[in-house]
Amino acid sequence: MTSDGKLLLGLDIGTLAVKGVIVDTAGRLIARASVERGPTHPHPGWVEMDAERDWWGCGLTVIREMLAVEDVEPRRVAGIGVCGLVPCLCPLSQDGHPLRPAILYADNRALGELAWVNQQADLALSAEAVVPKLVWLKRYEPVVFAGAHTILSAHNYTVYRLTGRASMDYDTASIVGGVFDGATKTWDAETCRRLELPPNILPPLLPATGAVGTVAEEAARVTGLAPGTPVITGSGDTFPTMVGCGAVEPGDAMISFGTTGLLTITDRPLAESAAGPHFESVGGGGAVTWGANVLSAGRLVRWYRDQFGAAEVVVAGRTGDDEYALLDAGAAQVPPGSEGLIVLPHLLGRRTPTPDATMRGSILGLSPSHTAAHVYRAILESFAYNVRQRFDTLRDRIERVVATAGGARSRLWRQIMADVLDTPLAYHPRSGGALGIAFLTGYGLGLIDDFNRIKTQWLRGPEIVRPDPMAHAEYDRLFSVYCEFDEVLAEPFAHLAAVGGQVGSRG
């Protein structure tokens, strides 16, 4: 397929970075940019971001940088798509201003409210849901709650700033927390009533690939985009990331080495659920099965860099090398299994194989012979162990595994994952959520007519890593030890949370 001269802009509002791409309709990369930043933790267990600065402000920087690339003319951009971290609670005033920092999916402040919501509405929500946090807001910040005209997640807020229209896609609505009716694709007013929440605080619902509006005059002025450019509703970052790595057919599994690490399995062609909801369907099985959800995958790696990687950061600044590549080089000298060192990656609690918000990260088995490189390698291995806890139960449904997101750039990390899981991993260097949402924008606006073009044209020639039998044998022995620690430490961590005030409500 040759390009028609039209361009597509995709923006991924992630937890640790905002990334963007501009591609033509044939999938050729024209521009890309990214800005690194991260959340704040005002109290133990709390995770927040400033919507205006961290989502819209960083998005502005990325858009402007891409539009500054030669040959990128704003009038050629035929559509814009945004995806992002979900679900988040960002309350907006009547005039569209955030009333407080957004509360993120990884925030554990509302565990008491979570138990109340589940009992009150006969639900089985987990800690990432927005509704318990909204109840928390009503109880502990009543002035903010009373002033909230609507609530949005990260990509919804960015779309709002581009178009002036508040909206939410069906998929994000389905994980807000038991208040979305998948059969009618509407908000469930009765459940809201039972939870004493006003239904009108929830935004208008639209398909993920539907056009929510166009770039408004003010947004055009500050971004450099052409006014009137179509903007789709967008979605959370998981589905676009699956699309953006080509895991679009039944039997395809995605392992996302992102801030949050994920394992998903495609059960039906993703084209069938492009409009959403993506992860469940009315009257039948969903298009996607959730496997693993590791809250601190890339987050844990960045934590290590920030706290202990100062030397690598300095060297990288002087030589132009990547600090993570330098950390990898040291870890590559450590044998598989990190000579008996095991890390539990639960900095913000555990989501899989069983949810436990009171679990915390641990470094186990330290001895005088261990070095910083051992710790770093054990951190990489911890993500693979956590994924394997679910991968083994789903293995017979998986035909192909694709690695994606920022951490997948590390060949060492991909090799560790392949060795722990005993399965080959494919990797497309261009893959990612920004590319996936750009593709979905073209598909939703009718500029791309074949969903499989993401595999046949936009992505080419994957790199393959294959498991090493000797390394797998070592990991196989240590995996049972990892699982034992993961089980037996749950009770002490719950006790620590109770006496140390690490999670829960704080007014």
Q: Which residues contact 117 (CB under 8 A, 6 or more apart)?
A: 123, 125, 129, 131, 132, 135, 177, 178, 195
Give the number of domains in the chain: 2
- 217 lies in the same domain as 332: no
Tell me if 208 sits within 8 A of 169, measured CB to CB: yes
- 197 lies in the same domain as 260: no
DSSP 191-215: HHHHTT--GGGSPPEE-TTSEEEE-
130-179, pLDDT tens digit by residue? 999 999 999 999 999 999 999 999 999 999 999 999 999 999 999 999 99
Q: Give the three-state DSSP class for 364.
A: strand
- 216 lies in the same domain as 293: no
Average of pLDDT values for 169-191? 93
Q: How many helices (H) and strands (E) does the chain have?
A: 18, 23
Nearest-10 crossing angle of helices 111-121, 130-140: 110
Q: Which residues contact 158 (CB under 8 A, 6 or more apart)?
A: 11, 13, 55, 56, 59, 82, 84
Determine the pLDDT at residue 286.
Answer: 67
Amino acid identity at 390? R
Composition of the chain by helix, strand, coil, percent to 5: 40, 20, 35
Question: How sure is the predictor about 12, in pLDDT bands with cuts at 50, 70 and 90?
Answer: very high
- 281 lies in the same domain as 319: yes
Q: Which among 321, 240, 255, 253 has a CA at the least distance from the CA of 293?
A: 255
DSSP 263-315: EEEE-S-GGGGTTS-SS-BTTB--SEEEEEEESSSHHHHHHHHHHH-HHHHHH
- 73 lies in the same domain as 210: yes
Residue 282 has pLDDT above 50, yes or no: no
Question: How sure is the predictor about 215, in pLDDT bands with cuts at 50, 70 and 90?
Answer: very high
Average pLDDT of every residue of the chain: 93
Tell me if 191 sits within 8 A of 121, measured CB to CB: yes
- 406 lies in the same domain as 496: yes
Question: DSSP class of residue 104?
Answer: P
The neighbouring-strand residues paired with 9 are 22, 80
**Which single residue is written with the structure tokens 């004493």?**
196
Alpha-carbon dihedral 342, 348, 354, 356, rounded to 10 degrees: 110
CATH of residue 326: 3.30.420.40
374-415, pLDDT tens digit by residue? 999 999 999 999 999 999 999 999 999 999 999 999 999 999
Question: How sure is the predictor about 301, in pLDDT bands with cuts at 50, 70 and 90?
Answer: very high
Domain that holds residue 304: 247-427+468-500
Last-in-domain residue among 180, 213, 236 = 236
Last-in-domain residue among 236, 264, 287 = 236
- 341 lies in the same domain as 220: no
Question: DSSP class of residue 401?
Answer: E
